[in-house]
Structure 1
Amino acid sequence: MELDDAYANAAYIPDAAEFPPKWEALADAFRKRLSVTGKARLGVMYGHGTRQALDLFLPEGVPKGLCVFVHGGYWLKFDRSLWSHLAEGAVEHGWAVALPSYDLCPRVRIADITRQVAQAIAVVAHEIPGPIRMTGHSAGGHLAARMAEPGVLPDDVRARLAHVMPISPVADLRPMMRTSMNADLRIDEDEAQAESPALHPAPEVPVTVWVGADERPAFLEQAEALAKAWGCGHVVEPGKHHFDVIEALADPGSDMVARLLG
């Protein structure tokens, strides 16, 4: 369809096929390492479906608070198991990190996924006290941004949000209606309006939008649209594309981790 190429990331990333196996291996190694020390709680159920579960990684000592990472995949693929290693940066700084899975389209609608992620955060937030810092990538960036908006999270949980960092977010869902993916996403005008953070007023929560400078123009435009709509921080990281822009979350010394937790 008209915008298929605009949102085709892998076709424009060298050796794109090598990334998922690399993510899987790094994530598996991280889970095993933290499981040995009793710092990994895997498969914590937050709902009734088999995908409504999260993994929680704990630091040494009492957590400073809770950090949440929401994975991407155009609401159509992947789960939490590929991204465990991205918790390392925050865990090393003393934060508990939760990574939820969620049901995928076309089994559910995007609005249902938003509700599931909110439920996951509410459940784990009642176990981990303190401030909450949210991040997510691509479709997960959309979901992270939605958590900042009034009425999505329970009021007591949203009051604890200290920072939200959507990474390469799809912040305006209207272009998705002009891709072949919409056969499964089933976005209509009403859902596009309701689920597009860039079309909504700025929340009263600190937000930083992060995107790689070498991403597809559509993602640079999406990030800019959200940053302008919300009047928030906007980082365009040189030399990063859609697949490697998130790698810095695994590095405790990275600028991304410092910004997320600072």
Structure 2
Amino acid sequence: MKPRIEQRERTSGGDMANQNDSFIDEVTEDLRRDRLFALFRRYGWIALLVILGIVGGAAWREYSSSQAETRARAWGDAIMAARQGDDPITALSAVDPAGSAGRKVLSEMLAAGAEAQAGLPQKAAERLKAAAAGLQNDPVLHDLALLKAVMVAGPAMDAAERDRLLADLSKPGAPFELLALEQKAVALIGAGRTEDAVMLIGQIQQKDGLSEPLRRRLSEMMITLGVEPEPSEGSLPQTMPAPAAN
């Protein structure tokens, strides 16, 4: 009998131990849940604000992007309509840039191109210089407008003014350095300074970053000046024919 009683006692003792462990686990879980809820009640508004900020920021970016795309499309449609009108110069100048300085100068460039086609290169150059004056904080568009002014006016521009503009535009690191140097070479050719033009073209050809169209134009200028252009990279060197055997 005794062993059975002891076995029952051990069994009941084990059950009670398991019940105690389960009870402790439940109490611990309840405490954790209560602490979690307390933390959420205390700091949950911060997490809510973060979530709202993320969602609101994404919605605002999407809205801003959509508005910018709509304005750009409307501007492009207005430009196309202005170029096809009876007076494209006036129409292009009147296109609303919707507050964008970049779009305004692009409209002025297109208007200047229409003036040049109408035989008014000086007026076109003045328009471009005026547009560049309002773009001191945008070196790319500023230099582009001035470079186009030089190209549109051509020999009609005062030589001193042209040299001054090209000197600034061809400074090392300028956005359109190589194109400005090309215009310097064109000006030298126009002034009859062939040797200086050949030397400058040779210097330009040695610079890094030459585009293929610019490299081709420089070679064509050298040929026009009676100088054999240097072979481009990747081309096979020209060999002299072998002497005939006696």
TM-score, with length taken from structure 2: 0.28
Higher strand share: 1
* Structure in which a larger fraction of residues adopt helix: 2
Higher relative contact order (CA 8 A, sep 6+): 1
